[in-house]
Amino acid sequence: MPLVFIGPMAAGKSKIGRRVARGLGVPFIDTDQRIVAQHGPIEQIFTRDGEERFRQIEREVVADALREQAVVSLGGGAVLDVDTQAELAGASVVYVTVSAAAVAERLAGTDRPLVAGDGVAAWERIFTARRPIYERLATLTIDSSRTPMMRLVDHVVAWHKEEQR
Ligand SMILES: Nc1ncnc2c1ncn2[C@@H]1O[C@H](COP(=O)(O)OP(=O)(O)O)[C@@H](O)[C@H]1O
Ligand SMILES: O=C(O)C1=C[C@@H](OP(=O)(O)O)[C@@H](O)[C@H](O)C1
Ligand SMILES: [Mg+2]
C-alpha cells in the first residue's frame, strides 16, 4: 500500500512527497507528472478537452499509481473521485494543508488552470469546498505554512516508519 499525499494546490504535496520517498528509499510518483508525460501540459488538457476529461485521465493514472509500492503525490482535485476516496480509506494518507496567506506567493506565476483567473480567491473557494474530504481521508495532517520543508519531511518519514512497525 502506498503512502499518499493529498491537499490543496501549492500546499507542497509534490515537493514534500519526493523528499519523503527519498528518505524512505522507495519510488516516488507524482500523478500530475505522469499525466503530463502521457497527455501533455495540464493547462492544455483543460483548455483543449475540459476539466471533465482531465478528471477521467487523472482517475486512470491515480488508480494505477495506488497499486504501486511507492510514495504517491496526487493533484489537489484527485480526491473528488469517489473511487479514489474509497481506495484511500484505510491507506496512509498525509494531508498537507497551508494558509491562504502563505500560499499567495506560491501561486504567483502558477500555471495551474483553476487559479489562473483570480489567484488566492479561487484557491480559497476550491479549498473550502474540498476541505471536508481532505480531513476525512487524512491519517496525518501537516501544515506547510511556516515550517521548513525538511522538518516536515523528517516528521513524515519518522511517522511512517513508526506506523509500519
Ligand atoms: N514548507 C514548505 N513545504 C513545502 N513546499 C513549500 C514550503 N514552503 C514553500 N514551498 C513551495 O510551495 C510550492 C508548491 O509546492 P508543490 O509541491 O508543487 O505543491 P503541490 O504539489 O501541493 O501543488 C513550491 O514552490 C515549494 O517550493
Ligand atoms: O486542485 C486541482 O484541481 C488541481 C491541482 C493541480 O495539482 P497540485 O495540487 O499538485 O497543484 C493539478 O492537478 C491541476 O491543476 C488541478
Ligand atoms: Mg503537485
Residue keyed to cell 502558477: 110
Q: Interhelix angle for 42-49 vs 31-39, to 10°?
A: 60
Kindly list the structural domains of the chain, giving each domain's residue range(s) and its CATH number in brackets, ordered by start. Answer: 3-155 (3.40.50.300)
Position 150, amino acid: M
- Quick one: what percent of the chain has pLDDT higher than 70? 100
Residue nearest to atom 13 of ligand 2 (CA): 75
All residues with CB under 5 Å from ion ligand 3: 13-14
Measure the CA angle with vertex 49, ends 44 and 53; round to 5°.
110
Q: Which pLDDT band holds residue 11 (cuts at 50, 70, 90)?
A: very high
Q: Has the ipTM of the complex gone over 0.90? A: yes
Cα angle 90-124-7, degrees, rounded to a multiple of 5:
25
Annotated binding-site residue? 112? yes
10 is an annotated ligand-binding site residue: yes
Cell numbers placing 97: 494543508
Nearest-angstrom CA–CA distance, 72 and 28: 6
Ligand 2, atom 6: closest residue by C-alpha = 75
The pLDDT tens digits of the residues spanning 41-88 come to 999 999 999 999 999 999 999 999 999 999 999 999 999 999 999 999
What is Dmax (Cα atoms) for the chain? 47
By the 10 Å C-beta count (0-12 exposed, 13-18 middle, 19+ buried), 91 is classed as: middle
3-class DSSP assignment, residue 6: strand
